[in-house]
Chains A and B, each alone.
Chain A
């Protein structure tokens, strides 16, 4: 098993005619993902690498039965694209776009409140259930099917971690990049709840970073209600306060968001915190036991 996406996932790529949209459509199909449709307003009727293009997500849902979306729409139009997918009833929406204004995301978050759609991102690498499907931009070959889940605020850092897991013999059930922005669709806890009831997932690696309090909240949830082994890593232990470290959400401000506070909260919840990224794979292996 896996969560959110699997072999039954049918993807619509929003922004499919753009450079990145087209490139990753090919990459996703190469991995085995069923990319069933694309959407670019005004370009309906064309096809991209054999994938039919529609003007609206609603049409893609009606004609191709898509149940997941992968968004590569430029920042000024991305919030609209997310809301369009949610309004069309797409179950899983992955927003890759980096650089969406925060106040646009405030509107998106409010729009999604009473809807069933799950938003992953924005500013994220997406979701992969190894061996089944990938809805995102991560390099497929570093992943192996298995029973470790990965939830991360980062992109390439997640690849590094997954690569170490795979080399340590630890395959993955589903890996989710939740995004590096201050306001994101779903956080650690949303996905921990799903992994909790996923029988195939035996343990979870949480990859956090400075900024906000999502890791502290995840720690509290794990302590209360999560009984599978969890290993965490926090990036930015040497980051100076008041500076935005690449990700819009990675900033220590107002005394909040320090790595050391996050590590303390995670450890207090009984979570193993890997201090050194260089040896993370080994740390996870020791924490979950060799199987």
Chain B
């Protein structure tokens, strides 16, 4: 689960990490109040959307007059922001964070993630702040510094000192102390909230020697949400695609993509591989849909309904390798959905595994029109025919 910048900053602030003073607005007529409540000029107007690449898309503006803040708020709120990550339709801006401007001396990068290879949390610090860390990693990997958290002791201050004390130019002592404190606090934020990522980019030093988190990204481990219930109210469903939201409510793994071949598959790996098969056949997948290893008839019905609701879908491929999920359950679930929503596009069904004969018989003896693929290769051929 992703948090908005303003939500993440509120948490960072509570844990003692300095953040700029700011106010959240949801309507242009709140902009003037915000400029009075927040010290300026300049003011920084920041679109609160989950999609990355927001700065380049014009979602962050530094503004000198209250009038211009109001104009910017009016032009951003309610309109799509076309970020690289959000796709061609963009994402509608519903909230703006109006912040005080900060006199930046230097920009740094700071984050904590779970490192897969060491199986533990890792602090990442870089003097190359303010740009995408992927770019820094590709161009100048020597600028990325890491410290792995010791599992027994936890994060220790010496690790922070090791990250910062040999940098050139050296920090003033009070700045160095502030950085050590920020890193300690970041570790606490990470552990307390079951984060999968906390990122401050940039973390800046000011001309007065202070350290401030100018931006903040925070993601929570979905698997830990059962014990982070207080964070659930920070979820913003409007940031998600409507079909993805529907799938989430049914506990289905669904991700909307740009193509026009709908796919329903059991198991994440097989679902990804089926997308790849569709692409190799010369078509583009409209979605990733994993109904799970042990889906119920109801889940199959819901999943199939979601695909049928996607108006871009020109053909559907069902690829099921029955294990725990039996093919007869799948067949009944598909029929239940087909009874509710008329299927107007070609349907290709490939069934294999547990109770495959029963599943095939149920489909065959119904009114459902569909094409049978005996294996994945044939399914791919049939998909290719639909798009040619």
Among B35-43, B72-80, B112-120, B208-216, the stretch that binds chain A is B112-120
Are A76 and B272 closer than 8 Å at their CB atoms?
A: no
Shortest Cβ distance from residue B235 to the other chain A in the assembled complex, whole angstroms: 15
A237 located at the interface, meaning its Cβ lies under 8 Å from any Cβ of chain B in the complex? yes
Are A182 and B223 closer than 8 Å at their CB atoms?
A: no
A183-B114, A278-B377 given; A255·B269 CB < 8 A: no
Among B26-34, B130-138, B329-337, B359-367, the stretch that binds chain A is B130-138
Are B194 and A238 closer than 8 Å at their CB atoms?
A: no
Contacts of A23 in B (CB 8 A): 324
Contacts of B152 in A (CB 8 A): 110
Are A137 and B275 closer than 8 Å at their CB atoms?
A: no
Among A40-48, A61-69, A198-206, A239-247, the stretch that binds chain B is A239-247
Contacts of A255 in B (CB 8 A): 134, 137-138
Contacts of B117 in A (CB 8 A): 212-213, 217
Are B120 and A159 closer than 8 Å at their CB atoms?
A: no
Contact of A237 among B223, B265, B276 (CB under 8 A): B276
Contact of A182 among B114, B138, B265 (CB under 8 A): B114
Q: How far is the CA of A125 from the CA of B133 in the complex (A)?
A: 35
Are B224 and A153 closer than 8 Å at their CB atoms?
A: no
A163-B321, A254-B133 given; A242·B196 CB < 8 A: no
B227 located at the interface, meaning its Cβ lies under 8 Å from any Cβ of chain A in the complex? yes
Name which residue of chain B comes closest to A277, CB basis.
B273
Q: How far is the CA of A250 from the CA of B270 in the complex (A)?
A: 12
Contact of A183 among B119, B133, B137, B257 (CB under 8 A): B119
Are B223 and A245 closer than 8 Å at their CB atoms?
A: no
Q: How many residues of B contact A (CB 8 A)?
A: 61
A236 located at the interface, meaning its Cβ lies under 8 Å from any Cβ of chain B in the complex? yes
Contacts of A235 in B (CB 8 A): 269-270, 272-273, 276
Interface string of A175-219 (1 = CB under 8 A from B): 000001011000000000000000000000001011011100100
B179 located at the interface, meaning its Cβ lies under 8 Å from any Cβ of chain A in the complex? no
Q: How far is the CA of A192 from the CA of B274 in the complex (A)?
A: 27
B127 located at the interface, meaning its Cβ lies under 8 Å from any Cβ of chain A in the complex? no
Are A139 and B322 closer than 8 Å at their CB atoms?
A: yes
Contacts of A244 in B (CB 8 A): 222
Are B293 and A156 closer than 8 Å at their CB atoms?
A: yes
Q: How far is the CA of A233 from the CA of B274 in the complex (A)?
A: 13
Are B253 and A102 closer than 8 Å at their CB atoms?
A: no
B16 located at the interface, meaning its Cβ lies under 8 Å from any Cβ of chain A in the complex? no
Contacts of A20 in B (CB 8 A): 294
Contacts of A160 in B (CB 8 A): 270, 273, 321, 352, 376
Main secondary structure of the interface of B (DSSP, over half): mixed
Interface string of A256-290 (1 = CB under 8 A from B): 00000000000000000001111100000000000
A105-B119, A139-B354 given; A237·B133 CB < 8 A: no
A158 located at the interface, meaning its Cβ lies under 8 Å from any Cβ of chain B in the complex? yes
Interface residues of B in 182-218 (CB under 8 A from A): 191, 194, 196
Contacts of A245 in B (CB 8 A): 253, 255, 268, 271-272, 288, 290
Are B227 and A139 closer than 8 Å at their CB atoms?
A: no
Q: How far is the CA of A213 from the CA of B85 in the complex (A)?
A: 23
Q: How far is the CA of A281 from the CA of B22 in the complex (A)?
A: 59
A89 located at the interface, meaning its Cβ lies under 8 Å from any Cβ of chain B in the complex? no
Contacts of A240 in B (CB 8 A): 255, 257
Q: How far is the CA of A212 from the CA of B268 in the complex (A)?
A: 16
A83 located at the interface, meaning its Cβ lies under 8 Å from any Cβ of chain B in the complex? no
Are B277 and A276 closer than 8 Å at their CB atoms?
A: yes
Contacts of B273 in A (CB 8 A): 157, 160, 233, 235-236, 277
Are B269 and A155 closer than 8 Å at their CB atoms?
A: yes
A225 located at the interface, meaning its Cβ lies under 8 Å from any Cβ of chain B in the complex? no
A14 located at the interface, meaning its Cβ lies under 8 Å from any Cβ of chain B in the complex? no
Are B321 and A236 closer than 8 Å at their CB atoms?
A: no
Are B227 and A101 closer than 8 Å at their CB atoms?
A: yes
Name which residue of chain B comes closest to A137, CB basis.
B324
Q: How far is the CA of A259 from the CA of B191 in the complex (A)?
A: 30
Are A156 and B321 closer than 8 Å at their CB atoms?
A: yes
A246-B271, A255-B138 given; A156·B221 CB < 8 A: no
Are A278 and B271 closer than 8 Å at their CB atoms?
A: no
Contacts of B262 in A (CB 8 A): none
Contacts of A103 in B (CB 8 A): 114, 121, 191, 194, 221, 224
Contacts of B194 in A (CB 8 A): 101-103
Q: List 29 A-B contacts (CB under 8 A).
A: A101-B223, A103-B114, A137-B324, A154-B267, A154-B269, A154-B270, A156-B270, A157-B270, A163-B321, A212-B116, A212-B117, A233-B273, A235-B273, A235-B276, A236-B275, A237-B276, A237-B279, A238-B275, A238-B279, A240-B255, A240-B257, A244-B222, A245-B255, A245-B268, A245-B271, A249-B116, A250-B268, A254-B113, A278-B375
Known: A102-B194, A154-B269, A163-B352. 18 other contacts (CB 8 A): A76-B226, A99-B223, A103-B194, A109-B119, A137-B293, A139-B322, A154-B268, A155-B270, A157-B270, A159-B270, A159-B321, A159-B323, A236-B276, A238-B278, A239-B288, A245-B288, A278-B376, A278-B377
